[in-house]
Amino acid sequence: MKIDWKIFKSPMIKFGISLMKDINNYGYQSYIVGGAVRDIVMGDLDIHDIDIATNMPIDQIKKHFKTYDMGGEKHGTCIVHYNNFDYELTQFRTESTYSDNRHPDEVKYVNSFEEDTKRRDFTINSMGIDAEGNVIDYHKGIDDIKNKKLKAVGDPYERFGEDSLRIIRALRFASRFGLDIDENTFNAIVKMKKSLSNLAIERIIAELRKTAEYGATKFVKLCEILDVTGIGDEILHFNIDWKNVINSLK
């Protein structure tokens, strides 16, 4: 699959592609990654934010571009200010062991974008697009979008063990995009739902609020999934002021 960048009117996209070409000209790889790629593949032309993954080391990024550290440099992430736009650049990396079910205990930088994609949550979020518009898809995210499937990258038990919030994110993505949750991913969600108790309540509420912002129909869909997975019963036992939460979602 190839994207025609000319159909995008946003200067942020235009300069983002220019930034990637500059990185490539310095001898490194670069790809737009994350939700922007998913949305572009789904046909959304109204993209407001893009993140870039690269094998360009932080010291080289800082040498060639104007950068800001937002606290992520220790994990290979910095902000590049380029033509009046800010772009988040992150080095290709792998992650290992998540003792707090959220943050990796160790980050290792790699030179392979394919290796980098293995740490991402769902196949629909694991794709990249290069400066020429080529979609790089190691985990069949395009097929899953076409088949309206939500599937974890690799072993879903590992992905949810790395960050329990991915369980709630799975429900949010399924509701937002009308996706059926893959059987293995669904089974892992059900079996690992008790790990949600490790999360800060605010993180769960934030995901619920995001889903509510998509509209009543999609929020109802979320409630249905909460019910069928048993997660609704699970989080009802948390110390949450549900009246306040409901009012905040209106």
3-state secondary structure of 170: helix
Render pLDDT for 179-231 as a digit per residue (tens, 0 to 9). Answer: 999 999 999 999 999 998 888 888 888 888 888 888 888 888 988 999 999 98
The Cβ of residue 70 has, within 10 Å, a number of other Cβ atoms equal to 11
pLDDT at 170: 96
* pLDDT confidence bin for 238, thresholds 50/70/90: low
**The residue to which tokens 């070409």 are assigned:** 21
Average pLDDT over residues 75-85: 90
pLDDT at 200: 81
Q: How far apart are CA 241 and CA 246, in angstroms?
A: 9
* pLDDT confidence bin for 249, thresholds 50/70/90: low
Q: Two tokens at 194? A: 């008790």
pLDDT at 33: 96
DSSP 13: H
* pLDDT confidence bin for 237, thresholds 50/70/90: low
pLDDT at 34: 93
